[in-house]
Structure 1
Amino acid sequence: HWPQLRALSALGFRERREAAAALQRNGGDQWGALRELQRPRLRPFLQRLWRPPGALDFECPDQQVLVRRILATLDVASWGRALLVASLGRELGL
């Protein structure tokens, strides 16, 4: 397992005992061990990714940021329509 351990170490998994155990649990398969070792590191990212988006802040001073957020979170077809949503939201005090 030395070449696989070196490869996992080069990818940032320097704890040999943990990497060796992951390799053993995956029958020496480097990709299976890599998947197993990455899972705990990816968990916080995935939790943030799947969290529901926050409310839109129509008082945001940067209009581009607001329009991009509208495009990312609402079912809006174009930049122009997102701009319209931002303008209406500001006018209505949302």
Structure 2
Amino acid sequence: EKLRDQGVAVTLIQSENQRLAPGLIVVPSFLAKGLEFDAVIVWQASASRFGADDERQLLYTICSRAMHRLSLVAVGEVSPLLSDVPTDEYEVV
């Protein structure tokens, strides 16, 4: 809704039977398995959201959907599940 309020054309995918629309789409992580996208934004990739080891598979599923660009947004400390990623593989902005 906030994206639409800003004039962004966006489609929210709410079920696995829903067709993927062209353009910007929002897909909940539980529906992303088996799909690939040009770009993926992980919202709240912070320690408070993805802090426990049992969330590793979920974070992996989300991150591995990106074919060309992966962006992670974190407020505060970044998830410790990302600590093994070599620092030359990403940039912090």
The structure in which a higher percent of residues are helix is: 1
TM-score (norm 1): 0.24
> Which one scores higher on RCO, CA 8 angstroms, separation ≥ 6?
2
TM-score (norm 2): 0.24
Larger Rg: 1
The structure in which a higher percent of residues are strand is: 2
